[in-house]
Structure 1
Amino acid sequence: MRGETQRNEGGRVNEDSGRLILHGARATGFGFAVRLAARLLFLFVAGRLYGAAVFGSYALALAAVELAVSVGSLGTKKTLFQLLDRHRGGAARPAAHALLDSALLVLAASLALGGVIALFAAMLPPETIAAGTATALLLLAPAVAGQALLDLFLAATRWTHVIRDEIVARSIVEPWALLAGCVAGWGLGWRVEGLAFGYGCGTLAALLYAASAARRRLGGLRLRTYRPIRRELSAALRGAADNTGTDLLNALYLRVDLYLVGVLLGEAAAGIYNMARQIAAPLRQIRQSFDGLLIPLVARSLAVRGGGATSAALASATRLVLVLQLPLLLFLFTAGGTLLAWLGPTFTGGYWALVALAAAETIQAAFSIGDLVFVYLRPRLGLGLTAISIALGIAAALLLIPQFGTAGAGLAVLLAYGVRALLRGWALRARFAFAVGRAHHAGPVGAAALGAAASLALGWERGPWWPTLAALAVYAAALQMWMHLTGQRLGLTGLASED
């Protein structure tokens, strides 16, 4: 048998599960690089062609749309796996019909939310919302349904333990269609509408691909024999309530800083701040490259072994994500100012916001793996922790933004994410008997601190590249030494695989 195997509490715990996740993460490496290239080109087009003010209007409108998507998705990005598992094998209804049940609910909810956004943008008086933001809201409102269904269909493909479809949709089709649409919009003379047009192109292209992939992976959708069953729809809707609330608060948690910058500092500042947010976003995507297979396998482990027994697996995943994120954080610390200048001289004022946001994204993306425990075992507990963090972030932003501008917004996010990580760790230890201490992650964090110190010691007077190389070299050497001295490994362990 491939890998070591042992029986534990009704589930089979082996190294194969960890290797499966790592294989999926490696498979997304190419997609991540392709998507990063498209992102940088998009930011260059948005910054150089459209400018900070138009980019700010687009960012504020897109943040509202993405908030609506988090509600319109009805939590199905995570809960769909359980619904499909109930229809596996000899169930009375095929799994494809469970997917169609969810698609009906998601479509109805997201269309209603998109209509509310469009009505909101059309009816608000001009003095309460900038013209550019109102136009972008009207144009982006239909994308709520497209993005919510896109999330759903890609979740269905991941249920089959195939990650390739999500890589193609999210890393190739969507970003490059978005970029092409933005360039075409500029060529057609759409100075305000071009970015929204590009987003619509990306959403539509990715949705068509994802729907086709889901149909292929599930062996067809069997539309001719599908009949919605009210009992099934009601059960799915009830099961989505708590996790939808959590997704809403998480989405608000990720965007409230941008809203406050737009309200307090204006659209141009929002454009500068959003540029920093977009550059920091790949830190989150490193974690997301694991999610395609990590989420269903964690769901399986929690179902057969419980929260406490899964703690070592989640801790090993957190540490591995940190190890991969920290080099990028060091790069943004040393070369972030140069990167912002390349995107447009207006954006260089967002450097300290970028550093704070990059640190915040590192904390949130790595340590939020523990939120999967709340999703499947105690969704209301996760909801409460998110609400506390949002309240703290808003209070900090209202204090710091007037004093420090966009840097203050980044610091508020960093504070909120840091407190949430501490609260999450406390809750996991107190409620689920997680026994993994903070020392489990000390090696990567300490190695990154040494790398940052090395870059500062060299100084940045002659450019960022030598300090960047020094930081990365010291980080790699320190991490290797820590692993040698402690005998620690970076692999994923402790996940229950399917029988």
Structure 2
Amino acid sequence: MTGTGTTPQADGGKGDLAALARGGRINFFGFVLRLLARIPFLLIAGQFYGAEALGRFAYALIIVELGSQLATLGLKRGLAQQLSQSGERSHTHVCYDALIVAAIGSAIMMGILFLFPQAMFPNSEVRGLERLLPITVLALAWTEIMLAALAYRHNIAATVRSRAIVEPWLISIVAGVLAYYSVGGGLIIAYVVSMVGALLTAAWPFFREYGLPHDWSPHPVKLWEMARRNLPVAAADAVEWGTRRADIAVLGLFFSPAIVGIYYVAQQIASLPAKLKTSFDPILGPVISKNVAADNKTAIAQQVRQVGFWIIAAQTAVALGLGIPAMAVMNLMGPEFGVGFMILGVLLAAEVIAAMAAVSEAALIYLARHRNMLLSLVMLGIEVVLGIGFILAFRAMELPTMTQAIGPAIGLALALGFGAISKAWLLKKIVHAPVSGWRWSLMWAAGAGLIVGFFAVMMPDWGQLAIGAPAIAIAFGAVLWFKGFGPEDRELFKMKKQEMDEPELPPPGSSGSNPT
């Protein structure tokens, strides 16, 4: 059922589906590059810095990344709608307005952190160049906005270069060099360098695409209106970010930095499947915003349903491949990390559960931003309450320390389950069509992966990682390909000569429906 007053796309939405598949393919390459770069960083951090230094690093990042999330004021995802509704106004001017809004927000956040650096390092003194860490707030905020602007023009390669090549490889290389020379605070310094590098990598194509803002000057009223309109999206972004960090924050209240460091490594490995969802983010936002502007609810439901299935399938394959040999994966980072294998298993399951909520939210931020924000706040509250509750319950049962530390991961998984169900239900009510990407064929594929995994864990660690993990993912993919994939699903794997051509851009000046 199409939205009222709208003519469905003449091609039945195949153009959007092809654009989504193309963007997903390009950014999947970026995911593979990021995966390859993340492994050396975790190896360097685990082997040369240790769990305690990683715990300190993880807590500092929580504070800085929270500042950058607030500073962008939701423009990471809201910029596409701002550009779609710009009317006769230059897209270049809209983008620079967004950069000014982010700069103002970043200046406030950086000022607070420069004045109170202990907020980043509550249990230790601030050392040397670590005081420069707050500058990454501006770097993160501007990078996100520039990449969002480029994604609106369907330039996905810029995101791959910035986020999947420069950022992860810089942090790995710099952390390795500083570890070799025994420089204190090497992880923090490496992070700063990588964020600045990612910003510069995003800035070059941004200036080439949008140029300088001729005949433009910041307009306080327009800037305030842009910030005000995006507050619900900013809150939703901050809450989504918070659901991936609240577990670390809760853990830090009850356990030593070394336990936090072990949990952080498990979290970083488990977040790899989540990067598959972000493979579609740069193209999903503009495509959905275009159909929201056209009130084409049928197309929105189809896109969410299709991308949801692609993401759930891919995340499940990666989660099984990393989760079944979880102890071998954690041992790779260092002997002290192996005890966190159960945490890794729960966190990988949580990422698969989260997939549907994340894809539904890509549409809800345009169609029901306030209700989406409220659901996100409830989800965050559930995570914190359950995480603390499980820790206290396990502690009362006198279970081992590492078992107690699983509590926040269980709370996260249950909260994400609530978010997935509630957000898919809300979106279904709005678009009057099914949006869930779940299919029972995923169970058959998972069963094949589990059977292969049963034999894989009998091998030594190197065999589990080099042979077992790929075999599990291949078994899952093979069954799903023959039992679960239809013609539209295989669109993701079709490489076409025409892909060198740019897809049709969302029509500038389109009028979107009012958020509810």
2: distance between equivalents of 1:364 and 1:337?
23
Alpha-carbon contact 2:248-2:263 (below 8 Å) kept:
yes
Structure 1 residue 138: deviation in Å? 3.8
Out of 246, 250, 266, the position equivalent to 1:276 is 266
Structure 1 letter corresponding to 2:84? D
* TM-score, scaled relative to structure 2: 0.86
Paired position in structure 2 for 1:476: 477
Out of 90, 94, 98, the position equivalent to 1:98 is 94
Q: What SS does the corresponding residue of 1:305 show, helix, strand or coil?
A: coil
| Counterpart check, 1:211 vs 2:189 | no
2: distance between equivalents of 1:452 and 1:278?
23
* Per-residue deviation, residues 101-129 of structure 1 (Å, max 9, x unmatched): 111110110121122233333489x9xx2
Alpha-carbon contact 2:424-2:436 (below 8 Å) kept:
no
1: distance between equivalents of 2:166 and 2:468?
36
Paired position in structure 2 for 1:14: 13
Paired position in structure 2 for 1:401: 391
Distance 1:263-1:161 versus aligned 2 partners, 3 A rule: same
| Counterpart check, 1:349 vs 2:342 | no
Alpha-carbon contact 1:318-1:367 (below 8 Å) kept:
no
In the TM superposition, what are the counterparts of 1:54-133 in structure 2 within 5 Å? 54-87=53-86, 91=88, 93-122=89-118, 129-131=122-124
2: distance between equivalents of 1:259 and 1:325?
25
* TM-score, scaled relative to structure 1: 0.89
Structure 1 residue 453: deviation in Å? 4.3
Once the two structures are overlaid, the 10-residue window that deviates more, 231-240 or 272-281, is 231-240
Structure 1 letter corresponding to 2:206? A
2: distance between equivalents of 1:319 and 1:136?
45
Q: What SS does the corresponding residue of 2:73 show, helix, strand or coil?
A: coil
Paired position in structure 2 for 1:172: 165
C-alpha RMSD over aligned residues? 2.7
* Per-residue deviation, residues 320-363 of structure 1 (Å, max 9, x unmatched): 11222222111112222112111101111111111111111122
Alpha-carbon contact 2:8-2:296 (below 8 Å) kept:
no
Distance 1:189-1:22 versus aligned 2 partners, 3 A rule: same
Paired position in structure 1 for 2:378: 388
Alpha-carbon contact 2:23-2:279 (below 8 Å) kept:
yes
Paired position in structure 2 for 1:44: 43
Paired position in structure 1 for 2:23: 24
Structure 1 residue 292: deviation in Å? 1.2
Alpha-carbon contact 1:297-1:496 (below 8 Å) kept:
no
Out of 452, 460, 463, the position equivalent to 2:457 is 460
Paired position in structure 2 for 1:374: 364
Paired position in structure 1 for 2:155: 162
In the TM superposition, what are the counterparts of 1:403-442 in structure 2 within 5 Å? 403=394, 404-436=403-435, 440-442=438-440
2: distance between equivalents of 1:164 and 1:462?
39
2: distance between equivalents of 1:201 and 1:469?
33
Q: What SS does the corresponding residue of 1:189 show, helix, strand or coil?
A: coil
Paired position in structure 2 for 1:146: 139
Structure 1 letter corresponding to 2:344? L
Structure 1 residue 281: deviation in Å? 1.3
Q: What SS does the corresponding residue of 1:131 show, helix, strand or coil?
A: coil
Paired position in structure 2 for 1:3: none
1: distance between equivalents of 2:357 and 2:9?
25
Consecutive unaligned residues of structure 1, counting only runs of 5 or more, are: 1-6
Percent same amino acid at aligned positions? Answer: 24
Alpha-carbon contact 1:62-1:137 (below 8 Å) kept:
no
Out of 444, 447, 450, the position equivalent to 2:445 is 447
Distance 1:123-1:86 versus aligned 2 partners, 3 A rule: closer
| Counterpart check, 1:328 vs 2:318 | yes
Structure 1 letter corresponding to 2:175? C
| Counterpart check, 1:289 vs 2:249 | no
Structure 1 letter corresponding to 2:306? S
Alpha-carbon contact 1:111-1:142 (below 8 Å) kept:
no
Distance 1:208-1:134 versus aligned 2 partners, 3 A rule: same
Alpha-carbon contact 1:307-1:373 (below 8 Å) kept:
no
Distance 1:123-1:203 versus aligned 2 partners, 3 A rule: closer
Out of 208, 213, 216, the position equivalent to 1:222 is 213
Structure 2 letter corresponding to 1:99? C
Alpha-carbon contact 2:315-2:352 (below 8 Å) kept:
yes
* Per-residue deviation, residues 54-106 of structure 1 (Å, max 9, x unmatched): 11100011011111111111111111112223446xx2x42111111111110
Alpha-carbon contact 2:143-2:202 (below 8 Å) kept:
yes
Distance 1:467-1:190 versus aligned 2 partners, 3 A rule: closer
Once the two structures are overlaid, the 10-residue window that deviates more, 29-38 or 133-142, is 133-142
Distance 1:234-1:53 versus aligned 2 partners, 3 A rule: same
Structure 2 letter corresponding to 1:362? V
* Per-residue deviation, residues 364-418 of structure 1 (Å, max 9, x unmatched): 1344110122200111111111111111111111122342333222222111111
Distance 1:487-1:80 versus aligned 2 partners, 3 A rule: closer
1: distance between equivalents of 2:329 and 2:103?
39
Alpha-carbon contact 2:356-2:424 (below 8 Å) kept:
no
2: distance between equivalents of 1:123 and 1:442?
47
Q: What SS does the corresponding residue of 1:343 show, helix, strand or coil?
A: coil
Alpha-carbon contact 1:374-1:382 (below 8 Å) kept:
yes
Structure 2 letter corresponding to 1:212? W
Structure 1 residue 420: deviation in Å? 1.3
Distance 1:344-1:110 versus aligned 2 partners, 3 A rule: same
Q: What SS does the corresponding residue of 1:118 show, helix, strand or coil?
A: helix
1: distance between equivalents of 2:118 and 2:171?
25
2: distance between equivalents of 1:139 and 1:453?
50
Consecutive unaligned residues of structure 2, counting only runs of 5 or more, are: 395-402, 493-502, 508-516
Distance 1:336-1:230 versus aligned 2 partners, 3 A rule: same
Distance 1:143-1:470 versus aligned 2 partners, 3 A rule: closer
| Counterpart check, 1:201 vs 2:202 | no
2: distance between equivalents of 1:77 and 1:156?
9
| Counterpart check, 1:302 vs 2:321 | no
2: distance between equivalents of 1:35 and 1:429?
33
